[in-house]
């Protein structure tokens, strides 16, 4: 394999290259359930933004890909391809009932507030990759499944204060997975 071909193939899997080939995200109903997956010890101040996925999408992903925590963390783009540290931590799922207009999509090249299939595009500061989601950040409004190197789940951002307005339910990730 030539060096230029190797270099080109490596570039094809970078988030920047993936963002240039964004696919359409799914439409969202006016109200929906979303899930925030995080390390068990992680806490968020009220005004901070969290990254969430629709519960229906998450359950469908688990049925299709299996009930493996590390694999799910990779599917969410929260761990590198090797899985690395993901298996060393306990995770939790926090489920919220939200209105679609409380959500925004993290689209890197989007216009702040523009409609993207029923959800506003995040402002520039909220569209950047969050620290614990950098491996799978695409800038397209969905994750990169780091294990399979393909499209993961549609993601959204929401402020904790808005997400928790109607209450929430927290459970260990393994319990959520076995009940999915």
Does residue 103 belong to any structural domain of this protein? yes
Instruction: Print the domain residue range for 143.
Output: 31-179
- 161 membership: H or E segment, kind and range: helix 160-163
Residue 107 counted as domain residue: yes
pLDDT grade for 180, boundaries at 50, 70 and 90: low
Mean pLDDT lowest for which of 17-21, 26-30, 101-105?
17-21
* Within a domain: 45: yes
Residue 124 maps to a domain: yes
The pLDDT confidence band at residue 8, using thresholds 50, 70 and 90, is: very low
Tell me whether residue 112 is in a domain. yes
Cβ proximity of 107 and 122 under 8 Å: yes
**Domains of the chain: total:** 1
Residue 21 lies in a domain: no
84 pLDDT higher than 80? no
Choice between 170 and 7, residue whose per-residue pLDDT is larger: 170
The residues, any chain, with a CB within 8 Å of residue 51's CB and separated by 6 or more, are 36, 106, 130, 133, 155, 156, 157
What is the model's pLDDT at position 10? 41
Domain membership flag for residue 24: no
Name the token pair of 90: 């306990």
Q: Is residue 18 part of a domain?
A: no
């Amino acid at each position: 394999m030539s060096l230029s071909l190797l270099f080109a193939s490596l570039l094809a899997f970078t988030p920047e290259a993936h963002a240039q080939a964004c696919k359409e995200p799914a439409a969202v109903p006016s109200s929906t359930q979303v899930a925030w997956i995080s390390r068990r010890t992680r806490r968020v101040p009220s005004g901070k933004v969290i990254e969430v996925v629709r519960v229906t999408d998450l359950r469908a992903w688990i049925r299709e890909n299996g009930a493996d925590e590390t694999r799910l963390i990779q599917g969410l783009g929260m761990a590198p391809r090797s899985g690395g540290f993901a298996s060393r931590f306990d995770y939790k799922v926090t489920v919220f009932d939200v209105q679609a207009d409380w959500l925004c999509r993290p689209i890197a090249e989007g216009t702040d507030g523009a409609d993207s299939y029923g959800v506003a595009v995040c402002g520039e500061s909220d569209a950047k990759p969050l620290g614990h989601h950098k491996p799978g950040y695409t800038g397209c409004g969905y994750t990169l499944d780091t294990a399979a190197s393909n499209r993961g789940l549609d993601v959204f951002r929401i402020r904790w204060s808005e997400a928790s307005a109607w209450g929430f339910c927290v459970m260990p990730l393994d319990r959520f997975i076995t009940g999915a």
